[in-house]
Structures are given as C-alpha cells and as structure tokens.
Amino acid sequence: MPPEFRKTDHNHNGGWSRSFFTDVVTVEGPKKLIYISGIGSEDPSAATPQEMVTQAPGDFAEQTRIAYAKIKDILAAHGATFADIVRMTTYVTDAKNVFLYHEVQAQALQGTPPPPHTFLQVAGLAMPEMLVEVEVTAAVADA
C-alpha cells in the first residue's frame, strides 16, 4: 500500500489574506513539504484586505527583517526551521537593494547556509508601500 498523502492549507497571516491566497500549504507523506506564500511586512492584525497596512513603509531593511521574522514563526508552527528551507524566491521593487537584502538575510539565517534562491525585481507588490516579499518551500521528515 502506498504511503498516505495529505495536503493541508493553513493561514497564519491574519484574516485579510484568506480571500486572496493560502499562506502555507503542507504536503505530508514520507516527507512533509511546507509551501509558504509570499511574506512581506503587512500587518497581520488586519481583518480585511481594506484594512491591510504595510509596516515600516519606505524602509527596505526593516521590511525584510519583518518578513524573515514571520517566516521563522510560520516554519516553527509546522515543525521546521530556516535549515529546512529547500527553495526561496524573493520579489523586490528595486533590485538595487540586492546587497542589503542578503545582509539582512544572513542576519536572519544566523549561520544557516542560504537556501537555493531566486531574486526578482517586479513592478509592484500587493500594496504600493511593500518593497519586498519572500516565498519559501521547506521540507522536514514526516513525524
């Protein structure tokens, strides 16, 4: 009999995002895969999209720190750490921040080797004040 396969949707980013996307999808079988949607500096207390506010507007480094703190918390909620990340994609509105981004990323990872990573400049993100959004896939041994 093949191993059981389960896909579960999770929302960690407050109520506002539920009508737009799922924050995290986990796939469990022999391994548990954790798919985290783009995480930025939006305030997680917003209950609706109309109430959404970007934290640290205009401050790329702080928005990146906020995103990584949220990712760390989401990973922990699913039994994972930064060391379990197998893929990362970062979207920025200005590629000139590439070196600053990697500096903040290194601080957040605290010595964990950086995962495979794609860094993309885009015309805009969900809110005009958002400067960075990070998407992550992680894998852990199924418990």
Q: Which of 29-33, 71-75, 78-82, 124-128 has the lowest mean pLDDT?
A: 29-33
Looking at residue 129, its pLDDT comes to 95
CA distance 89 to 37: 10
Average pLDDT over residues 73-85: 94
Most confident of 12-16, 46-50, 79-83: 79-83
CATH number (domain holding residue 87): 3.30.1330.40
CA 97, CA 60: separation in Å to the nearest integer?
A: 8
| Residue 33, Cβ density class (10 Å: 0-12 exposed, 13-18 middle, ≥19 buried) | buried
One-letter amino acid of 96: K
The pTM of the full predicted model, rounded to 2 decimals, is 0.85
Q: Per the domain annotation, does 1 fall within a domain?
A: no
Q: What token pair was written down for 58?
A: 């205009």
The whole-angstrom separation of Cα 45 and Cα 55 is 11
pLDDT, tens digit, 9 for 90 and up, residues 24-71: 778 777 888 999 999 999 988 887 878 889 999 999 999 999 999 999
The tally of domains found in the chain comes to: 1
Q: Which residues form the domain of 39?
A: 6-141
